[in-house]
Amino acid sequence: RLELKYGAQYTGKRTDAAMNKWRSNRFGQFIHWGLYAIPGGVWNGKTYNYAAEFLKSSAHISTATWDSLMYKFNPKKFNAKEWAKMAKKMGVKYMTITTKHHEGFCLWPSRYTDFNISNTPYKKDILKEIVDAYNAEGIDVNFYYSVLDWHNPDWRYDIKSKEDSIAFRRYLDFAENQLKELATNYPTVKAFWFDGTWDASVKKNGWWTLEVEKMLKSVRPGVIINSRLRADDYGSRHKDSNGELMGDYESGYERRLPDPVKDIKVTSWDWEACMTIPENQWGYHQDWSISHVKSPLELLEMLVHATSMGGNFLLNFGPKGDGSIRSEEQNIAKTIGDWMAVNGQVIYNCDYAGLKKQDWGYFTREKGSNQLNMVIFNVPVSGLLHVDVPKGMILKKAHFLTTPGQQIKVEEIAKNQYLLHMPIKLYTSPQVIVVECDNGK
């Protein structure tokens, strides 16, 4: 093992109340909103297919031109309470919002840069409106913060000279001041979601990433930090040079999920996957016909998949520049919310059940419960659901979550092997079967 000054500060899962709440939340809404929402992936009449929040670089727009978008940011259709109500109905328990994305524009009236909401026609502290509206709906709010900052002249992609080092040190002080400002002025914030930390300049300053983690945890005790902030003494990210996870949960799953067999080890630490609805658009893009757009059922399966492996699922929304939510996103929120209203108990406060993955779908288990949840996406033509159980576990009774009075036949076919007999019919939404187990302990 290497002696590290800036490596993991602890091993194993945090078990304090704040982390237990973060874990039990399971389902979150990501919101990417900034100046990039105004052009929405189109510049001078040309549509750029790459992620809309990267339009400045895709269309080779100068910083001066891009930054002047600030004078156009005036979301007339913005209504924080409507956003929060939609999120509540979708069934999310937390929301992570981009306080500052790579463009450097701040949704809050930061005292450390003029490139912020107070200098837009909107003027008001829009971040506070959003935090208050979501908190009022009982939804926890987390802050996304990009360390990468295209606006700040002290930002550096690498440190190649004394001048770079002096400038970047100024930048790190600026960023730390902004983070302290966010943690101080928005006291209900529950977690910080760092991004834009992949460049050599940050990897060469692992000390700063630990200093920021410690500062935030002292300003806001219990606050949760993602692994993406962290670099160790040797520039190793997410996991330190001894292979230990840094921060409080792994946040490397971006637009992908761990494999239920090959990546089963993720069940031993906390993690979160963040997901776009189109293939790769985080900020609002005017034209979603340029790529596949995931259906509500595809996204619902990803949520269940994440829960089944002990992870959180953060589904992204990209509000328009006028503050409205596009109809496709509203429809997805409604469809997922309708399912969650009936079946949310197999997601919230649920975790990896410890059983072998089967083709028909996913197992989840509520913490401390002797009830096994089976979420079925692929009904076998035989109607027979195969279940391999760990030694000592006995499956007793089963029924659909929604019809507790109708038993489903549970047939033991061999040692630690069962078949559940599902009525053969057309199912048009994921089915949930709950199974009473005897864990033999």
Ligand X SMILES: C#C[C@@H]1N[C@@H](C)[C@@H](O)[C@H]1O
Site residues (vs ligand X, CB under 6 A): 51, 53, 195, 254, 274, 282
C-alpha to C-alpha distance for 224 and 41, rounded to whole angstroms:
32
Q: How far is the CB of 346 from ligand X (least distance, A)?
A: 27
Query: Closest-CB residue for ligand X?
Result: 282
292 by Cβ neighbours in 10 Å (0-12 / 13-18 / 19+) ranks as exposed
Q: How far is the CB of 428 from ligand X (least distance, A)?
A: 32
Smaller CB distance to ligand X: residue 195 or 329? Answer: 195
CA distances from residue 60 to 38, 54, 64, 65, 184 in whole angstroms, order as listed: 17, 10, 12, 10, 36
Cβ proximity to ligand X: between 53 and 244 the closer is 53
Element (H, E) at 87: helix 80-90
Which residues fall within 8 angstroms of residue 415, CB to CB, at 6 or more apart? none
The smaller minimum CB distance to ligand X, of residues 51 and 70, is found at 51
Question: In 3D, which of 262, 353, 317 has the Cα closest to residue 84?
Answer: 317
Residue 274 vs 350, nearer CB to ligand X? 274
Instruction: Decide whether 150 or 171 has the Cβ nearer to ligand X.
Output: 150
Q: Which residues of 353-370 are buried (b: 16+ CB within 10 A; e: fewer)?
A: bebebbebbbbbbbeebe
Measured between alpha carbons, how far is 161 from 212 in angstroms, rounded to an integer? 24
Q: Kindly state the smallest distance separating residue 386's Cβ from ligand X, in Å.
A: 37
- Under 8 Å CB-to-CB from 323, ≥6 apart: which residues? 75, 76, 77, 78, 79
Q: Which is nearer to ligand X, 224 or 374 (CB)?
A: 224
CB 257 to ligand X: min, Å: 15
Residue 9 C-beta-side C-alpha neighbours within 13 Å: 17
Shortest Å, Cβ 51 to ligand X:
6
* Closer CB to ligand X, 282 or 377, in the complex: 282
State the minimum distance, in angstroms, from the CB of residue 150 to ligand X: 12
Q: How far is the CB of 96 from ligand X (least distance, A)?
A: 9
